[in-house]
Structure 1
Amino acid sequence: MSVFLTGFPGFLGSALVGRLLDRTDRIDCLVQSKYRDDAARRAAELAGDDWEADIALHEGDITDPRLGLSEETYDRLAGDAEEAFHFAAVYDLGVEAELAERVNVDGTRHVLDFAEAADARLHHVSTCYVSGRYDGVFTEEMLREGQSFTNHYEETKFRAEVAVRERMAEGLSATIYRPAITVGDSRTGETQKYDGPYHVIRYLLRQPRVAVLFTPLGASDTELNVVPRDYVVDAIDALSRMDRSAGVTYNLCDPHPPTAVEAQRVLAEAAGRRVVSVPTTQSLLERLLSAGPVRAATGFDPAVVPYYTHPTRYVAPNARRDLSGTGVSPPPFAAYAPALVEFVREHPDISSAAMT
């Protein structure tokens, strides 16, 4: 028997593969052709030189109804799979609508078709930001709340989760995991790309002892919900082993997140910098950062600015209940911020580009 997994060798999917080696005969990973060599290297890191005994790489594409596989391979994998983990998505706040639709929505529907053909339990990796700009507390049961969306990433991940819930209502066994903003490992700081909070870190490290940061009005009251990769992967690993998690949605978030201003201060302290915050409006800051010279000088992506005034708060009673006693819980942001900063300091050349 096997576990089927999309999104290898991506940031979260590749980390989970190492956790899955003890629970199945084989892990069948769907890999884009252009990442085949990277996937082989990552598989060797996880399982050693004889990795092909445990991990099988299948070149394919979730945007194709048959996942880019031959009919024979598709049927064989569906016949073997007991579980399917769906990580593949475009994780990019600035993604174009057409690409987001093909990968995040159509791709999820194709993985749902595979899971149904396999009669396999599906583990779908969503995001807390299916909430869009919901004004208030967003629970694990909530989804369709009439919310607006900041970008195509949020909207298409929302529509993907809608598709999963519709199949669940029709009888598909599935669990939904919604990570908050996911950063590097809490111990080593290791990450695959620099986006989100990393724009702040890279900017701070380029400044002298004092760093000037323009901050949108309202940032001091806005929660910035960040979790490290190891918490997300450990939580998915632990929860996916439980029979009682079938049919459940989990917000994998920080129960005590810092505000956006507090997060900046924590990162500045870790970088050895003092921040001078200059209040401004969100619209003005977005216009400034959209100008080529300003964006080049600061390294900030204007797509992150709305998250400094994000009106949504996240709670996770399902995750807290079912992870109780497992030892898996999100560490405080201040506890691992120094590891994130140090990793960026030691690895300045990592890209901010998403895998597409």
Structure 2
Amino acid sequence: MTVLVTGASGFVGAEVTARLTAAGHRVLAVVHRNADLVRNNGRKLTAGPGLLTRLTGDITRPGLGLSDDDRRLAAGADRIVHCAAVTDFGLPPGRYERVNVEGTRHVLGLALGARTPLVHVGTAYVCGERDGIAYEDELDLGQRPGNDYEKSKLAAETLVRKAAADGLPVTVVRPSIVTGATRTGRVRDHKTVYPVLRVLTRGLVRTVPGHHDAVLDLVPVDRVADLVTEAATRFRDAEGRTLHAVGHELTLRDMSDVLAEYPSLHVPRFVPPSAFSATALPGRERPYYDRVVSLYAPYFRRRVRFDAAHAEAFGHRPPATGAHAYLRRLLDHCLATGYLGPPPGKEPAVRPDGSTHR
């Protein structure tokens, strides 16, 4: 099978590409500026036994900006897996519109031209600002997106749903907050929740608006890549479904409890959003709040949990367990690499669950 993967050099896309080539499939890897495909373990991707063909393109342009020869190759793909997206917070709205919305429109144009089955990678946070259970079949319920990223992904998935209604075979996979590897906590890119974790654990902002029972859903990148890959290779079973790729549910209280185990890390003080005022922060904290913490405010007040019944039935995988131990592995890796500050000198103690802390 030949699979065209957009965003093939990205955090999720590189792992999906690795799995597809390892299974013997040919991957047409659409890359933009970065021609190197680096896996989450830091090693360059070595294809095999399947073939890997890099296509230089730009999803913000019609036809993905591919050359005529590459466009002919793409037209022969058996599947398209659309991973490419801007996921950083705080960018100009136009950036999300160009990449996440118009980019998806251009991918759909390619898919519709040859009626190529599409696996679209969205986000579980299209649910917007809400509490309660977010179900896989739901999309536009009139919700308010938490930020421009979520707004763009909602618009993109709406385009995908319209294409499906027009007859395009489609599967949607919605990850939650994509983080490090299940067993090691290792992460290639310190994006998603990592920047705000760094600011808070260094004590750069000590008081944060948030509900103690607000829920962060952290999903290991390998769990996401496994589900996306399976959706592509078992498309007949996945077609028409929306699958939540979700992982470990942690309340802010859970997070605080785990952080308190680490003497070198600051534990932020969460206060009800109604009682918080950014103007009351010390002057040295305000810039960090404005530039980083405020971008994540919706995630600290949402009491939302994601239903994953379809994903669990499709993938035959039980829900993730051991949320506290998983968070410790993420923190341990960040400490070992110096991301959360200089690593302490002595070797850490090892817990029975394999995680460590100082």
Fold-level similarity (TM above 0.5): yes
Name the counterpart of 2:237.
244
Correspondent of 2:163 among 146, 163, 167: 167
Q: Does 1:154 align with 2:150?
A: yes
Distance in 1 (CA, whole Å) between partners of 2:230 and 2:104 is 23
Change (3 A) 1:314 1:31: same
* Corresponding position of 2:257: 265
1:198 pairs, out of 190, 194, 197, with 194
> How many angstroms apart in 2 are the aligned matches of 1:52 and 1:114?
27
Percent identical pairs in the alignment equals 32
Partner of 2:351: none
Which residue in the other structure is 1:67 paired with? 64
The secondary structure found in structure 2 opposite 1:35 is: coil
Q: What is the Cα deviation at residue 75 of structure 1?
A: 2.2
Gaps (5+ residues) in structure 1?
A: 351-356
Deviation at 1:331, TM superposition (A): 3.6
Kept in 1, the 8 Å contact 2:198–2:339? The answer is no
3-state secondary structure, aligned to 1:57: strand
Q: 1:319 maps to what in 2?
A: 311
Would you say 1:18 and 2:11 are equivalent positions? no
C-alpha separation in 2, matches of 1:266 and 1:113:
46
Partner in structure 2 of residue 180 of structure 1? 176
Q: 2:102 aligns with which of 106, 109, 126?
A: 106
Provide the C-alpha distance between the structure 2 equivalents of 1:148 and 1:41, rounded to a whole number of angstroms. 35
Partner of 2:122: 126
* CA contact 1:26–1:54 (8 Å) conserved in 2: yes
Tell me the CA shift for residue 148 of structure 1: 0.7
Alignment CA distance shift 1:26-1:213 (3 Å): same
Distance 1:342 1:22 in 2: 29
List aligned pairs for 1:338-353, cutoff 5 A. 338-348=328-338
1:27 CA drift (Å): 0.7
Q: Partners of 1:102 and 1:305 in 2: how far apart? A: 24
Give the TM-score, by structure 1 length: 0.84
Cα root mean square deviation, aligned: 3.1
Please say if residues 9 and 31 of structure 1, whose CA atoms lie closer than 8 Å, have aligned partners that are also in contact. Answer: yes
The answer to whether the 8 Å contact 2:212/2:270 transfers is no
- Return structure 1 stretches of 4+ with deviation > 6 angstroms: 40-44, 288-292
- CA pair 24-290 structure 1, distance change in 2 beyond 3 A: farther
Matched, 1:337 2:357: no
**For residue 232 of structure 2, what is the amino acid of its counterpart?**
S
2:212 aligns to what?
A: 220
286-295 or 124-133: which moved more? Answer: 286-295
